[in-house]
Amino acid sequence: MALGLRCFRLVHPAFCSSLTALTRTVSEVTLQTVRGRQDDRGQYMAYAAVPVRHFATKKAKAKGKGQSQTRMNLNAALVEDIINLEEVDEEMKSVIEALKDNFNKTVNIRTSPGSLDNITVVTADGKLALNQIGQISMKSPQLILVNMASFPECTAAAIKAIRESGMNLNPEVEGTLIRVPIPKVTREHREMLVKLAKQNTNKAKDSLRKVRTNAINKVKKSKDKASEDTIRLIEKQISQMADDTVAELDRHLAVKTKELLG
């Protein structure tokens, strides 16, 4: 009995200290020694601490999902020998400007002569803008005229292009004069314009995708100039720039849709 009590006195402090170690993080208990009671010979007993791994709780994971990923902000000057990020940025911005210009010219409640200017006409000499082969004017608030006297051979092609422009126009021809009645502003007409705006936005995203792909392909060809980590960071930066541009295109579409539907 006396021997048992003596052993318990030796073990008890270490047992308590081990329980304390279990509540600490791994970094705090990598390897510690726990001081025990001094035995009869004046020596101390040493015990290794037990490392414990702490796992994230469901609540912590859910909180992490709501946080945005770290944004890239590479210094363009430091990677200019691999790719000119400023030029890539300008190309992406030009996609936005092209969409805004498209919206202003072709996606409006009230059709104007300027709306027909850039309609593409397929001719024997290639693709030409309508205002390059025809004289466009406003006859009245309800009628636009396109005079094809300078290029009469392109009249049929111009009519086809106007009809297929997606602007809900039904042109009529009198010799070399094309009459384009302006459609009434109905709910159906507004919804048709919204559909056209979405189509144009999708085309803009296709153009943006090409810019992104070309830029990343250029970076991949420069693997001999930089480490894999650097290449990966540049690709991430380009993808981030493209994502920001997509968000801007969607914002312009939302504004235009609200304007069209009233």
Residue 159 · residue 178 · CB < 8 Å = yes
The number of beta carbons lying within 10 Å of the beta carbon of residue 96 is 16
What angle separates helix 228-261 from helix 85-106, to the nearest 10 degrees?
10
Q: What is the mean pLDDT of residues 121-128?
A: 92
pLDDT tens digits, one per residue of 95-123: 999 999 888 877 877 677 778 887 899 99
* pLDDT tens-digit series, residues 150-200: 999 999 999 999 998 877 789 999 999 999 998 887 888 889 889 999 999
Tokens, residue 150: 């300078």
Query: Dihedral of CA 239/243/248/253: which sign?
Result: positive
For residue 259, give Cα distances in angstroms to 16, 108, 166, 199, 205: 72, 9, 18, 17, 21
- Cβ-based neighbour number of residue 35 at 10 Å: 12
| pLDDT, tens digit (0-9, with 9 covering 90-100), for 19-53 | 444 444 444 433 343 344 444 444 444 434 344 34
CA neighbor of 208 nearest in space, from 41, 93, 78, 127:
93
Measured in whole angstroms, how far is the alpha carbon of residue 57 from the centre of its chain? 31
